[in-house]
A = this chain, B = another copy of it.
Amino acid sequence: MPNKQTSVKALSKQARGGTGTTYSPLYQQIKSLLLQRLDQGEWRPGEAIPSEHELAARFQVSQGTVRKAIDELAADNLLIRRQGKGTFVPTHTEAKVRFRFLKLTPNDGHQPRSSSQIIDCTRVRASTEIAQYLQLKSAASVIRIQRLLSFDEQPTILDDIWLPSQVFKGINATTVRANKKPLYAWFESEFGVSMVRADEAIRAVAAQETAVQHLGVPAGSPLLQVDRISYTYGDRPVEFRRGLYITERFHYRHSLS
């Protein structure tokens, strides 16, 4: 059975038939199709996607090909495999995923109790800088959330968060304060926005007025400034966040390989 002429393979053939410029293997095409469906929300965070067997039947390819597609998605943390149970869409509600984006760890091993306090939430016009990060027109409407994270009752992180108003309709001081979940879990359940990837730029800066005020450190003392752009499916930026970390009892961890 050399090659069946089915929907997916039709695509494949088109790609192959050309001058070879746009060749893309079958499993990559399957991967794209799965990504599309994830983006469209066909399977919600926390749910299982169809079994490999069923996907193979649906796409008219072998199970091994579906497997390779899922392998790559799992490697990028876009899916989670659980032997004997199925393959799941990750959710920031789970404890494991929840701290995936927070690399700050205590110097001693002991995991602290954390609490969050919303300082302010306003609607503002994006500066050129913020607009650029979020790929918006300059002066576009954005929501700005300022909050303080404390570990073991010690103020440790001052976050300044900007979100496109168009995407997060209905966020304001009241709704933000009413929310009990971690922010990313809330974005997921309330606005259908899944954070999938992020880029961070880290610098050492001297504490300014607002940091002094909320973190209770002396003016000019060194803070870790972590700028993060978070992306959903399709590499669309949906959050810019500037965090100021006190790295006295904590440090930012990074494994290189």
Contacts and interface: CB of A to CB of B under 8 A. Distances in A.
Nearest to A251: B201
B204 A223 contact: yes
Given A221-B206, A222-B223, A223-B222, A200 B253 contact: yes
A247 B204 CA distance: 6
Interface string A240-257: 000001010001111111
B251 A202 contact: yes
A101 interface: yes
A165 to B, nearest CB: 25
A228 B227 CA distance: 22
Interface of A is mostly: strand
A252 B77 CA distance: 23
Nearest to A224: B204
Nearest to A248: B203
Contacts of A257: 76-77, 196-198
B254 A202 contact: yes
A204 B203 CA distance: 8
B205 A202 contact: no
A200 B247 contact: no
Which of A199, A203, A221 has the largest count of B CB atoms less than 10 A from its CB? A203
A216 interface: no
A50 interface: no
Contacts of A255: 197-200
Contact of A254 (B100, B251, B254): B254
Interface string A209-248: 0000000000011111101100000000000000001010
Interface string A62-78: 00000000000001110
Given A222-B223, A223-B222, A100 B256 contact: yes
